[in-house]
């Protein structure tokens, strides 16, 4: 199975900050990567797929990049509603696997 490693596991930031989350795959996955946002008690919400394609309705302050093994999710201007946990997921092959999550907390 492809192992997905996110870093950092958590960090604190302030509203208005530019933040970047990293996801690394244990083998090359081209751009078969998705990003999700999850808030407590809720299901994950799809933000980005194919590494850089923004899901309909997701604010443009979210962006993704990368290919192969290294990927990033960037929030250009952190808003209060963005404090949440973010997960990456590979869909290069089965079994589908997720990263361990990055929790973005209020500083």
Partner 1 sequence: QVHLQESGPGLVKPSETLSLTCTVSAGSINSYYWNWVRQSTDKGLEWIGRIYPRGNTNYNPSLKSRVTMSVDTSKSQVSLRLTSVTAADTAVYFCAGINGFCTPTSCLPGYFDPWGQGILVTVSS
Give me the residues that bind partner 1 (CB under 8 A), please: 1, 32, 34, 36, 42-46, 49, 55, 87, 89, 91-101
Q: Strands 97-98 and 85-90: what pairing?
A: antiparallel
Least separation in angstroms between residue 106's CB and partner 1 is: 22
Question: Which residue's CB is nearer to partner 1, number 49 or number 62?
Answer: 49
Nearer residue to partner 1 within complex by CB, 16 or 40: 40
Give min distance, CB of 84 to partner 1, in A.
14
Residue nearer to partner 1 on the CB measure, 72 or 100: 100
- Closest distance between partner 1 and the C-beta of residue 46, in Å? 4
Collect contacts of 65-69 with beta carbons under 8 A, ≥24 apart.
66/23, 66/31, 66/33, 67/30, 67/31, 68/25, 68/28, 68/29, 68/30, 69/24, 69/25, 69/26, 69/27, 69/28, 69/29
């Amino acid at each position: 199975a492809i192992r997905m490693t996110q870093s950092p596991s958590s960090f604190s930031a302030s509203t208005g900050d530019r933040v970047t989350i990293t996801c690394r795959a244990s083998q090359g996955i081209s751009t078969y990567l998705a990003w999700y946002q999850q808030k407590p008690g809720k299901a994950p919400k799809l933000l980005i797929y194919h590494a850089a394609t923004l899901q309909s309705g997701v604010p443009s302050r979210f962006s993704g990049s990368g290919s192969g093994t290294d990927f990033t999710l960037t929030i250009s201007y952190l808003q209060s509603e963005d404090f949440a946990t973010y997960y990456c997921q590979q869909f290069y092959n089965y079994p589908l696997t997720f990263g361990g999550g990055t929790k973005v907390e209020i500083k």
